[in-house]
């Protein structure tokens, strides 16, 4: 545990550097990292050094793949495969290409070559789909964005997505599709097909919301609706969150346990919990991939795997250890995740619940199960939300105590089952998606009622000292009785 926390600290420190240090500075850290495996007193420093080394190497690896400046704003021939979900409006297509070959002037070579390129194509007559291979003539530039405080950091987002250049497609006959999408159904193609089907359903009033809950694609949600979710503190429910992954795993686990009581699953020594745990892991993994494998789903999936592996191996794992390993996994996979509000809110909420319920061995009714978690998260994340956004919702506990079970237990299962039946049984899929759409409409009416109340959103810009005092007060409130 000590090594894990030190490694997280090392990666987090590097993510705050204004620029990457030279690789030469890592040489003194290597002996400490290696010696920590043999000498326990050095374990903390070994983990810290390993985190720093990993983050710096990750940074230089990404920077080295970016498009060199000498190839900016010239025509290049690109061959690549479409990945992710293309976005289309009335003027253009926006999509990401995984580079297979980048034709450079005079047959020059880039080593290492760019990984992904984000493109705009102002030609809607040739729509692209995930899995297709295209030959395109493009003009590119290095990834860049504005550095204005409190605005979206587009350049950091591009780096985290592994996008090494941006640009646009030049119109001409050279642009052609080389290979259709694979006949085998991949996750990307499945997500695209669900997105297309839902966008064509004009009978659904909240199709973009259902799309966000099914495949994690929330670009279609309008600004007014998203502002309503933010004002009521329920926006985390309309992206694929760890809560949804947990609900899917719980449903699968409970279903297999129920079937195991009626059907023989093998020899008597094989416990029903073991196949149930394996099934829950597979269900959570498939749902996480379908949802795009964002940061909250990564955290939830790692914690679920660790907890359920404990069931399979019949070993007890503490929730705090699972949370620390999940944070380490996320940080190693994306060292710049420390700079995102999503990491702080996602892990902060789970850590709050672990701390707020520590020391208790039994539940105490409906309030304890549904009301108290909302109150704990509201108290703990209030200072953090003020620090990040200078506002927080005063009625978020009241909104979430209804929205969480409604979305998790009813709407998400209806969306997933309805999405799976779109091609097998369209009438049944239409009925299920219609029921989910109706429930979303009821919830939005409730949220609008709350948002219209006075003081529904508190906007403050407190100083550093006030935030520290508020954070310490929230921590004291969350500590178990007696402390």
pLDDT the model gives residue 183: 55
**Between β-strands 163-169 and 133-141, what pairing exists: parallel, antiparallel or unpaired?**
antiparallel
pLDDT the model gives residue 268: 46
pLDDT the model gives residue 185: 63
Low-confidence stretches of the chain (pLDDT < 70) are 106-108, 150, 182-185, 240, 263-271, 359-364, 367, 483
Radius of gyration over every alpha carbon of the chain, rounded to an integer in angstroms? 25
As to burial, measured by CB atoms within 10 angstroms (0-12 exposed, 13-18 middle, 19+ buried), residue 49 is buried
The answer to whether the Cα torsion of 130, 135, 136, 142 is positive or negative is positive
In the block, tokens 């009033």 appear at 205
pLDDT the model gives residue 165: 93
- pLDDT tens-digit series, residues 316-330: 778 888 888 888 988
- Judge contact between 8 and 51, C-beta under 8 A: yes
């Amino acid at each position: 545990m000590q090594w894990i926390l030190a490694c997280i600290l090392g990666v987090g420190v590097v993510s705050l550097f204004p620029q990457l240090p030279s690789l030469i500075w890592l040489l003194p850290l290597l002996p400490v990292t290696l010696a920590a495996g043999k000498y326990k007193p050095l374990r903390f420093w070994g983990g810290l050094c390993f985190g720093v080394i990993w983050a710096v190497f990750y940074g230089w690896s990404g920077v080295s793949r970016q498009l060199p400046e000498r190839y900016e704003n010239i025509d290049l021939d690109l061959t690549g495969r479409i990945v992710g979900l293309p976005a289309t409006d009335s003027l253009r297509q926006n999509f990401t290409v995984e580079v297979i070959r980048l034709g450079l002037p005079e047959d020059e070579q880039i080593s290492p070559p760019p990984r992904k390129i984000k493109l705009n194509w102002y030609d809607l007559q040739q729509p692209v789909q995930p899995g297709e291979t295209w030959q395109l003539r493009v003009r590119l530039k290095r990834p860049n964005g504005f550095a204005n405080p409190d605005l979206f950091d587009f350049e950091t987002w591009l780096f985290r997505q592994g996008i090494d250049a941006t640009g646009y497609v030049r119109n001409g006959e050279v642009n052609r599709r080389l290979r259709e999408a694979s006949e085998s159904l991949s996750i990307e193609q499945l997500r695209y097909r669900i997105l297309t089907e839902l966008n064509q359903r004009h009978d659904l009033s909240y199709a973009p919301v259902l799309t966000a809950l099914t495949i994690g694609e929330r670009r279609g949600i309008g600004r007014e609706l998203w502002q309503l979710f933010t004002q009521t503190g329920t926006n985390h429910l309309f992206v694929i969150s760890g809560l949804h992954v947990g609900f899917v795993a719980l449903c699968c686990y409970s279903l297999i346990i129920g079937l195991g009581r009626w059907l023989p699953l093998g020899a008597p020594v094989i416990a029903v919990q073991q196949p149930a745990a394996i099934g829950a892991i597979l269900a959570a993994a498939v749902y996480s991939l379908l949802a795009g494998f964002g940061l909250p789903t990564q955290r939830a999936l790692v914690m679920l795997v660790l907890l359920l592996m404990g069931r399979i191996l019949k070993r007890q794992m503490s929730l705090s250890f699972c949370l620390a390993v999940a944070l380490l996994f996320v940080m190693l996979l994306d060292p710049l995740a420390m700079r995102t509000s999503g990491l702080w809110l996602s892990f902060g909420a789970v850590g709050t619940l672990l701390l707020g319920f520590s020391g208790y061995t039994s539940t105490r009714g409906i309030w304890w199960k549904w009301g108290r978690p909302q109150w704990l998260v509201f108290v703990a994340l209030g200072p953090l939300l003020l620090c990040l956004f200078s506002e927080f919702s005063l009625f978020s506990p009241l909104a979430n105590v209804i929205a969480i079970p409604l979305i998790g237990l009813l709407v998400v299962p209806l969306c997933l089952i309805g999405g799976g039946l779109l091609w097998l049984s369209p009438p049944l899929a239409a009925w299920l998606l219609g029921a989910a759409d109706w429930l979303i409409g009821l919830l939005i009416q409730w949220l609008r009622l709350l948002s219209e109340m006075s003081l529904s959103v508190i906007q403050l810009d407190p100083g550093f000292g006030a935030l520290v005092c508020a954070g310490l007060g929230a921590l004291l409130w969350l500590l178990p009785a007696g402390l």
